[in-house]
Amino acid sequence: GAVVSQHPSRVICKSGTSVKIECRSLDFQATTMFWYRQFPKQSLMLMATSNEGSKATYEQGVEKDKFLINHASLTLSTLTVTSAHPEDSSFYICSARLAGADYNEQFFGPGTRLTVL
Amino acid sequence: AQTVTQSQPEMSVQEAETVTLSCTYDTSENNYYLFWYKQPPSRQMILVIRQEAYKQQNATENRFSVNFQKAAKSFSLKISDSQLGDTAMYFCAFGSNYKLTFGKGTLLTVNP
């Protein structure tokens, strides 16, 4: 149980284009989903917290107009990187919190490797 | 804001031996959770063990156990009978208000 999927697993795009990454909780409802960014050999940095049916909360320094997050249902959140540039190339990981859970565990997706040419 | 410090960027251990990974954290909160996550080369984050701060008893999961010292704000992970499949990056994480703060990680290599 508690499986989170991400699609696509890898994406290569040209500079200036937009890319959408999907995060789905497959066997549970997730009221809250999180988006992280991980550079090579570094830790996970939280970008934003996404709550179903409401606007995402972005961490300091994260451009909300560049990284658009939508959490339209209890099982799906999307991250759209708009007007992508080479410096946006990174590994993006989503996670989900089990609805109603009273602890802070998050279940992680397998990640999406974004390369912007 | 919480901070999590892992002071060992890399460690290695021989197969079947025991290794301890260190983690310290800083917080003013009293209710929180601590986690160790494993990230193998596939980069899938896998929960290794969880500790609730209000519990004095150290958590154990098979070969994995923690030494939780709340007053010292220390949360180390002990891996017994190390296996080749334990080779991975290990992240210590602090959880509060449903958010996680990660340390920089320790790359553990298990040698045959």
The beta-carbon neighbor of B43 closest among A46, A104, A111 is A111
The beta-carbon neighbor of B33 closest among A34, A104, A111 is A104
Q: Give residue B80's pLDDT.
A: 98
Q: Give residue A111's pLDDT.
A: 96
DSSP structural state of residue A102:
S
Q: Give residue A76's pLDDT.
A: 93
Q: Give residue A33's pLDDT.
A: 94
From first to last of its 117 residues, chain A has per-residue pLDDT tens of: 689 999 999 999 999 999 999 999 998 888 899 999 999 889 999 999 998 888 899 999 999 999 999 988 889 999 999 999 999 999 999 999 887 766 778 899 999 999 999
Secondary structure element (H or E) that encloses residue A33, with its range: strand A30-38
Taking the Cβ of residue A111 and every Cβ of chain B, the question of whether any pair is shorter than 8 Å is answered with yes
For chain B, residues with pLDDT lower than 50 are: none
Q: Give residue B97's pLDDT.
A: 84
**Size of chain A, expressed as the number of residues it contains:** 117
Closest CA to B97 of A37, A67, A46, A65: A46
Cβ-defined contact of A95 to B96 (cutoff 8 Å): no
Cβ-defined contact of B98 to A32 (cutoff 8 Å): yes
Q: Give residue A18's pLDDT.
A: 97
Q: Give residue A34's pLDDT.
A: 96
Pairing of strands B74-79, B19-21: antiparallel
Q: How does DSSP assign B9-40, residue by residue?
A: SEEEEETT--EEE--EEE-S-SS-EEEEEEE-
Residues of A in contact with B99 (CB under 8 A): 34, 46, 49, 104
Q: Give residue A102's pLDDT.
A: 65
Taking the Cβ of residue B47 and every Cβ of chain A, the question of whether any pair is shorter than 8 Å is answered with yes
Cα separation values, A80 from A34, A47, A68, B9, Å: 14, 13, 5, 33
